[in-house]
Chains A and B, each alone.
Chain A
Amino acid sequence: MCKHTVIELSVRNHPGVMSHICGLFARRAYNVEGIACMPVNGGGTSKIWLLVDADRRLDQMIKQVDKLQDVLDVERYDGGHEVFTKMSEFVQ
Chain B
Amino acid sequence: MKMTGAEIIINLLERQGIETIAGIPGGANLPLYDALGRSGIRHILTRHEQGAGFIAQGIARVSGRPAVFFATSGPGATNTLTAIADAKLDSIPIICITGQVPLSMIGTDAFQEVDTYGLSVPITKYNFLVRSAEDLLDIIPAAFRIAASGRPGPVVIDVPKDVQTAEVEFDEWPELGVREPGTELIPNQVKRAAAMINRAEKPILYLGGGVIQSGSADFARELAEKGGIPAAMTLMGLGIMPSGHPLNIGMLGMHAARYTNMALEECDLLVAVGVRFDDRATGKVPEFCPKAKIVHMDIDPSELDKIKTANASVTGDVADSLRALLPLVEEKARTEWKAGIQALREAHPMIVPEADDPASPYGVILKAAELAGRDAVVCTDVGQHQMRTAQVYPFSAPRSWLTSGGLGTMGFGMPAALGASLAAPDRPVLCFTGDGSIMMNIQDLATAMEYDIPIKIILTNNNALGLVRQQQDLFYGKRYTASEYSRSVDFLKIAEGFGIKTHDLGTSDDPARTLAEALAEPGPSLIHVPVGVEEAVYPMVPPGAANSEMIGGEKHV
Q: Residues of A at under 8 Å CB distance from B?
A: 15-16, 19-20, 23, 27, 59-60, 63-64, 66-67, 69
Contacts and interface: CB of A to CB of B under 8 A. Distances in A.
Contacts of B117: 16
Given A16-B127, A69-B146, A64 B121 contact: no
A67 B300 contact: yes
Contact of A60 (B122, B125, B127, B302): B302
Contacts of A27: 122
B70 to A, nearest CB: 21
Contacts of A63: 301-302
Given A27-B122, A67-B302, 15 more contacts: A15-B129, A16-B121, A16-B127, A16-B129, A19-B118, A19-B121, A20-B121, A23-B121, A63-B301, A63-B302, A64-B302, A66-B301, A67-B301, A69-B125, A69-B146
A64 B151 CA distance: 13
11 contacts: A16-B121, A19-B121, A20-B121, A23-B121, A27-B122, A59-B305, A60-B302, A60-B306, A64-B302, A66-B301, A67-B301
A60 B300 CA distance: 12
Contacts of A67: 300-302
Contacts of A64: 302
B126 interface: yes
A23 B122 contact: yes
Contacts, number: 26
B302 A69 contact: no
Contact of A69 (B118, B126, B300): B126
Nearest to B129: A16
The 5 closest A-B pairs by CB, nearest first: A63-B302, A69-B126, A23-B121, A64-B302, A67-B302
A16 B125 CA distance: 13
- By secondary structure, the A interface counts as helix
Contacts of A69: 125-126, 146
B313 to A, nearest CB: 12
Contacts of B301: 63, 66-67
B309 to A, nearest CB: 11
B91 to A, nearest CB: 12
Contacts of A60: 302, 305-306
Interface string B285-327: 0000000000000001110011000000000000000000000
Contacts of A59: 305
A12 to B, nearest CB: 11
A60 B305 CA distance: 8
A19 B127 CA distance: 11
Nearest to A67: B302
B294 to A, nearest CB: 17
B415 to A, nearest CB: 28
A74 B117 CA distance: 24
Pick the most buried of A23, A66, A67: most chain B CB atoms within 10 A of its CB.
Answer: A67
A15 B127 CA distance: 12
Interface in B115-160: 117-118, 121-122, 125-127, 129, 146
Nearest to B146: A69
